[in-house]
C-alpha cells in the first residue's frame, strides 16, 4: 500500500535523525557497515509501518478515501 510505504519513508527519516544506524565510534564495522546501515534503517521502518507504525498510513488512506467518496 502506497500510504504504508510513505509512512515507512517518514519513519526511516525519523530514525536517521534519532541516530539509528550510525556507526559507533568505539566498535564499528568499517566502511561496509556505513554503506549498508541505510538499508537496515529502511527495513526497520518498513517493519514498524507494517505493524501499525504511528498511524500515519491509516490516516492518509482514510483521508484519500474520503476525498474519493466526495467526488
| 61 inside domain | yes
Total domains present in the chain: 1
| 63 inside domain | yes
Residues 6 or more apart whose CB falls under 8 angstroms from that of 23 comprise 29, 33, 34, 37
* Predicted confidence (pLDDT) per residue in 9-66, tens digit: 999 999 999 988 776 665 666 667 777 888 999 999 999 999 999 999 999 999 999 9
| 27 inside domain | no
Residues 6 or more apart whose CB falls under 8 angstroms from that of 5 comprise 46, 49
Domain holding 61, by residue range, is 2-16+32-70
Measured on CA atoms in the order 49, 14, 57, 2, is the torsion positive or negative? Answer: negative
| 46 inside domain | yes
Q: How far apart are CA 59 and CA 70, in angstroms?
A: 17
Residue 7: band (very low, low, confident or very high) from pLDDT cuts 50, 70, 90: very high
Amino acid at each position: 500500500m502506497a500510504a504504508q510505504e510513505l509512512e515507512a519513508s517518514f519513519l526511516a527519516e525519523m530514525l536517521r535523525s534519532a541516530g539509528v544506524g550510525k556507526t559507533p565510534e568505539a566498535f564499528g564495522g568499517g566502511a561496509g557497515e556505513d554503506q549498508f546501515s541505510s538499508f537496515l534503517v529502511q527495513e526497520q521502518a518498513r517493519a514498524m509501518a507494517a505493524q501499525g507504525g504511528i498511524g500515519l498510513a491509516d490516516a492518509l488512506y482514510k483521508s484519500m478515501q474520503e476525498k474519493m467518496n466526495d467526488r
